[in-house]
Amino acid sequence: MLRLTKRSEYGLMALAFMAQSGQAYTSVREIVAKLRIPRRLLAEVLKDLSFSEIVEAVRGPGGGYRLTCPAEELSLARVVEVLEGAGTVAQCTDGSRCDLSPSCTIQEGINLVAQRVKSVLNDFTLAELSDCTTPRPQPVSLAQGLAV
């Protein structure tokens, strides 16, 4: 349906939360308390993200998760890819071929679309994602002008 899964959304919400929490470790408990999302599922998502080294985990008191890189350098594409696989838009866009490809006349076109969609995700950083709602003042035009 051209939608992100909840997994991705939860993951992004959590990451955005962490991005704002500075560089301290953030526990699942905290995130769940603030964001009101299923604890168990979030835990799994974060585990995956930790496995892919998008976040690092520390156990024990005071532990939790933390971004491994600045939010400005983490693209949505990377997160989404980890959380729901490489392919977007259609099935043939991640290398795996579909039964119809021999008779499919739009394969190349679709792949082009997929590429563009992906580049949207690639150009969108976690920083931007959380900045949109961060209680920051809005010198938006300036910031954008410089950032882009």
Partner DNA sequence: AGAATATAGCATGATTTTAGTGCTCTTTCA
Partner DNA sequence: TGAAAGAGCACTAAAATCATGCTATATTCT
Instruction: Give me the residues that bind ligand SF4 (CB under 6 A), please.
Output: 9, 90-92, 98, 100-101, 104, 106-107, 110
Contact residue for DNA among 12, 14, 19, 28 (CB under 7 A): 28
- Comparison of 42 and 131: residue with beta carbon closer to DNA: 42
Residues from 61 through 90 that contact DNA (CB under 7 A)? 61-65, 84
| Measured CA distances, 46 to 40, 131, 144 (Å) | 10, 21, 30
Residue 55 has phi, psi (to 5 degrees) of -130, 160
48 near a second copy, judged by CB under 8 A: no
Direct distance between the N- and C-terminal alpha carbons of the chain, in angstroms, rounded to an integer:
30
Element (H, E) at 57: strand 55-58
Per-residue buried b or exposed e for 120-129, using 16+ beta carbons within 10 Å of the residue's own CB: ebeeebbbbb
**66, β-bridge pairs:** 56
Distance CA 31, CA 37 (A): 8
- As measured in angstroms, the least distance from the Cβ of 139 to DNA is 28
Residue 23 touches which member of DNA, a second copy, ligand SF4, none, C-beta under 5-8 Å by kind = none
86 near a second copy, judged by CB under 8 A: no
Contact residue for a second copy among 21, 27, 30, 35 (CB under 8 A): 35
User: Considering CB under 7 A, how many residues would be counted as binding DNA?
Assistant: 30
Contact residue for DNA among 20, 35, 52, 57 (CB under 7 A): 57
